[in-house]
Structure 1
């Protein structure tokens, strides 16, 4: 292909993408409330047991407030609302419910993902609620109170004959598109090895430059399955209505891997947050928050403080 042809193709693709992006934004607002006022937010009652578990000498960043860092990486977990400044999503909703449980006002601080560890250690905020997975390496510096499962999703075209992927044999011989050097790729390579040892076909992994290219490959029939973080694909499926979930995969396969509220190591706040989460689970507020953002698949039966995390690589 000549340089002129490449440029022409790129221009054509860009022009085609503009109406698709505009439609996607409109459709997203029909499915998820991305308004700054968030009238459907789930609120919680003050939890006396959780409040009592806060160490007497613990000093919140701002008196009377629960200051929480969140990275607005994209819906449905956390994104900027239609006013381009208010952060909304499942993680902000959960942070609000925890603040309610502690009898505090929520102070949400948007941060870049790379900046949260230093900001937390230096006391800029009391906690991070931003899809942080529990790992053994992170546990050396931070405490954790789990609140969601870390899941990857198996999604296919809406009219695909594939109905379920739960274990390695279900994926034998399939063309699966996945991000290079990701945890999903690592797991699927192990699945493929297991299939070959069992006399089944290997998994054909496909790599593309970005998420949009992977979605297009799936829609065009060049790939059978796409595997990405579950929440990302839930949003795309609800927005575009042309892909469907056929299974989930734990980020810690074969063990469960959880997402957690992250606090400073030894601050003593983690146990109170775990108590608050378990109360939200018992009274149903937790389930309603996840359902509001179509993340019920990621629900935990209970919250734990500092459970086993992903091992050091």
Structure 2
């Protein structure tokens, strides 16, 4: 895949629009197609960016080399499997699926076909830029806060699969330990599913991670605190306030880097490199997406219990 790649986006909603515009502007790739059950919506996104609109999946897959799946979460696995069966590397927005069986099927299909499968946990870009993945210590405690006001977006899944899953993935990526127990509490609001949630996850090495998410808040808040044996790192991702009391050099000016300013672009570029065979794997692969989903479903189980 050394030629200019033809990219296709499944889903003409908010996230589909983000992916389509990235493909239209990044080097080495063009936006070729957008698939949506509503043809006019697909046209409204695709045509100004030079792409074609489709409602038929087979015709869409024949027109592209790589695929982003940005449809509602319940369709992620089926559409990813169809793309892989057609020989197309695929980038699946989070969550990778809504069940572990589906996630396992996507992972197995990608492995069997030898095709890149990326999952949309692009927040890892920030941690990489900051340097957190390079700290040679295991964390003792993590506290993550992610609040946002009500939105019509992603109401087909709980706030756990919508928002918390990002921070669950980051905790799993930071620690070499395995989660062993999960406790949680939450509330159901307009969506009919969990719209606020607080969970505490204990890991087998004593690491504890606490997650607080809401999509019913009056204002946006997003912060994280990570405690290490040698000190603490605190980050407010909205104000860019940064505090590091560990001896490890971290990038307090992470927000000024191109990757941090456009994490989706960095994530898609990593996917395209993997699709071309220029990199061994995307930034976040199918196994990572499945692992984050596994923990997210455990949190939902704890909330229901």
Establish whether TM, by shorter chain, passes 0.5. no
Pairwise TM-score range, normalised by the shorter structure: 0.3 to 0.5
TM-score, normalised by the number of residues in structure 2: 0.34
TM-score, normalised by the number of residues in structure 1: 0.34
